[in-house]
């Protein structure tokens, strides 16, 4: 057997080791069968293999006698098989060849008129050629298997649940505003999760929010536009709706109220977004409402780091994203008091866009906030967290204006919330420095979120993993969806 054939056999053995695993997939098996059935190359190759097998060649009798002579074909008759349809005629059989001589010369003469016996070299050459055909046939099967696997995986990838651009009835601008990374949910599923939309969290002029519970016991928040008719929902509103979904789907951070899915149906008219649910209310409520649980210093520092990590993540995206309005009212708390930045105040923009004509300019989403604006707002939230005071009150006016003299004079203890039983001096010192840097009047003098996080980590030992919630409602929702 030649070296080339041996190498081919080695390759085939490795390939065949994978065949049983691949054939477990019924779709791949059916595809391979179809490919083989329609492959003339494969059929031709198998015919050639069978035609050259030694079992199909006349050979000498086992007892070493003369080889068989030519076979005289018999006429085909129509018969049941029990009796011949025509009387049999005697056929004169050819005279039997003489017994072969033990001497080589006599043996060569006795072989006149019959097929020669195969020598050892001839048999080796034929076997090697047969192996080459077998190698080719199995290689063809292996190639078709690999091709089938690739085709199946491509088909499965393309069949993912994505939302493509609308094909009719909308402008080219709207066709570009399509969604590819967020699952589209059915209204009936959300209706069942929200108890027929009876579990209302709050109602506003532009939207209504509902609390829902999935079969996996994960909780969700469903926000719905206040518009109830398709004729009142313009193309501009649809562009804004889809662009907002696209923006929110890019964030995906443990300290953000992540978007789980959306729903759009025309009958009945439905435009909804589904978010994670944070059960412990807002940071503002815990800082200023005595009915909510009091937050100690360690919990507050964990909340601070969660906000910082999330903003850092958003600003480091390509292109960067900024939150339009960071306040203690847009920061929500999970069951274990991890912070989650939320963005749900955009529903009025859809209502406003529905009132504008499609030809009106500046009728889409307002421009995104700059990162420098986020950093300034973060500084104000830090001040609110350590002081426990409202951002503005008639008694003291602006919180930053009240705190500035204490910050400049390094009288940081004057800024501490009097309800706190204890705090850490080194952490308070670093937080106050960050507040001053973030609230610089000139935006270009403010630090980046990377610099803010780096400075806070000098004193506050809370890692990104520790700042996040123990469990994420998004994971539970993904199991259901």
CATH classification at residue 186: 3.30.200.20
Domain match, 334 and 199 both: no
Residue 247 lies in a domain: yes
Determine contact, residues 108/74, Cβ cutoff 8 Å: no
Q: CA 235, 239, 245: angle at the middle one, nearest 5?
A: 145
Q: Are 274 and 222 in contact (CB under 8 A)?
A: yes
235 and 264 assigned to the same domain: yes
Give the residue with greater pLDDT, 29 vs 426.
426
* 290 and 416 share one domain: yes
What is the distance of C-alpha 202 from the center of its chain? 33
Question: Are 207 and 269 members of one domain?
Answer: yes
Instruction: Assign 146 to helix, strand or coil.
Output: helix
Verify that 202 and 312 share a domain, yes or no. Answer: no
The answer to pTM > 0.85 is no
Q: Same domain for 419 and 285?
A: yes
Among 68, 262, 306, CA closest to 163: 262
Q: Give Rg (Cα) of the chain.
A: 41
Token code pair at residue 371 = 């990162």
Say if CB 69 and CB 94 are below 8 A apart.
yes
At residue 349, the pLDDT reads 79
pLDDT at 43: 55
Does residue 211 carry a pLDDT above 60?
yes
Residue 102 lies in a domain: no
Domain boundary pick from 277, 295, 324: 277
Which of 222, 242, 277 delimits the end of a domain? 277
pLDDT at 478 over 80: no
Give the pLDDT confidence score for residue 106 in this predicted structure: 44
Chosen domain end from 215, 245, 277: 277
CATH number at residue 473: 1.10.510.10
Give the tens place of pLDDT for each residue, 17-67.
555 555 455 455 555 455 455 555 545 555 555 555 544 444 444 444 444
Tokens standing for residue 148? 């089938």
Q: Are residues 332 and 475 in the same domain?
A: yes
Q: Considering only 121-130, 248-257, 393-402, which range has the smallest mean pLDDT?
A: 121-130
Nearest to 463 by CA among 322, 301, 331: 301
Q: How many domains does the chain have?
A: 2
Q: What is the pLDDT of residue 166?
A: 30
For 184, the domain range is 178-277
Query: Do 257 and 192 have their domain in common?
Result: yes
Note the pLDDT tens digit of each residue in 233-286: 988 889 889 999 999 999 999 999 999 999 999 999 999 999 999 999 999 999
CA distances from 439 to 49, 377, 414 (A): 84, 8, 19
Q: Which of 135, 150, 141, 143 is nearest to 25 (CA)?
A: 150
Q: Report the distance separating Cα 223 and Cα 274, nearest Å.
A: 6
* pLDDT value at 387 more than 80: yes
Cβ–Cβ under 8 Å, residues 390 and 338: no
3-state secondary structure of 200: strand
- Residues 287, 264 within the same domain: no
- Which residue has 């199946």 as its token pair? 152
- pLDDT (0 to 100) of residue 55: 47
Region of 214 please: left (phi>0), alpha (psi -120 to 50) or beta: beta
Determine contact, residues 140/45, Cβ cutoff 8 Å. yes
């Amino acid at each position: 057997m030649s070296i080339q054939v041996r190498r081919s056999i080695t390759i085939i053995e490795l390939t065949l080791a994978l065949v049983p695993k691949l054939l477990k997939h019924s779709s791949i098996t059916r595809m391979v069968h179809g490919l083989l059935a329609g492959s003339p190359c494969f059929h031709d190759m198998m015919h050639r293999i069978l035609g050259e097998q030694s079992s199909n060649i006349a050979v000498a009798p086992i007892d070493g006698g003369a080889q068989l002579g030519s076979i005289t074909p018999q006429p085909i008759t129509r018969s049941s098989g029990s009796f011949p349809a025509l009387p049999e005629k005697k056929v004169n059989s050819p005279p039997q060849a003489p017994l072969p001589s033990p001497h080589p010369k006599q043996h060569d003469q006795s072989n006149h008129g019959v097929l020669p016996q195969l020598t050892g070299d001839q048999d080796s050459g034929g076997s090697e050629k047969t192996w080459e055909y077998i190698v080719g046939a199995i290689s063809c099967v292996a190639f078709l298997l690999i091709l089938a696997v690739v085709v199946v995986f491509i088909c499965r990838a393309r069949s993912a649940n994505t939302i493509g651009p609308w094909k009719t009835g909308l402008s080219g601008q709207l066709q570009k505003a399509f969604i590819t990374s967020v699952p589209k949910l059915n209204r009936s599923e959300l209706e069942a999760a929200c108890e027929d939309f009876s579990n209302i969290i709050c109602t506003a002029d532009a939207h209504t929010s509902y609390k829902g519970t999935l079969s996996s016991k994960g909780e969700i928040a469903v926000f719905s536009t206040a518009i109830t008719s398709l004729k009142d929902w313009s193309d501009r509103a649809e562009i804004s709706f889809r662009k907002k979904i696209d923006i929110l789907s890019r964030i995906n951070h443990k300290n953000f109220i992540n978007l789980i899915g959306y729903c759009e149906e025309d009958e009945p008219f439905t435009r909804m977004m589904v978010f994670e649910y944070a059960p412990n209310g807002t940071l503002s409520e815990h800082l200023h409402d005595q009915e909510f649980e009091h937050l100690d210093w360690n919990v507050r520092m964990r909340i601070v780091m969660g906000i910082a990590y999330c903003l850092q993540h958003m600003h480091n995206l390509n292109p960067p994203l900024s939150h339009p309005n960071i306040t203690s009212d847009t920061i929500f708390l999970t069951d274990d008091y991890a912070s989650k930045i939320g963005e749900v105040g955009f529903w009025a923009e859809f209502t406003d866009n529905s009132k504008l004509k499609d030809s009106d300019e500046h009728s889409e989403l307002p421009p995104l906030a700059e990162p420098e604006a986020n950093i300034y707002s973060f500084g104000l939230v830090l001040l609110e967290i350590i002081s426990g005071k409202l951002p503005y009150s008639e008694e003291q006016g602006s919180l930053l204006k009240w705190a500035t003299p204490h910050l400049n004079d390094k009288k940081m203890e004057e800024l501490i919330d009097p309800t706190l039983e204890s705090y850490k001096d080194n952490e308070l010192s670093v937080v106050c420095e960050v507040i001053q840097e973030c609230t610089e009047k000139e935006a270009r003098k403010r630090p980046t979120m990377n610099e803010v996080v780096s400075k806070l980590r000098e004193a506050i030992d809370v890692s990104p993993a520790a700042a996040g919630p123990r469990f994420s409602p998004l994971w539970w929702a993904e199991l259901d969806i």
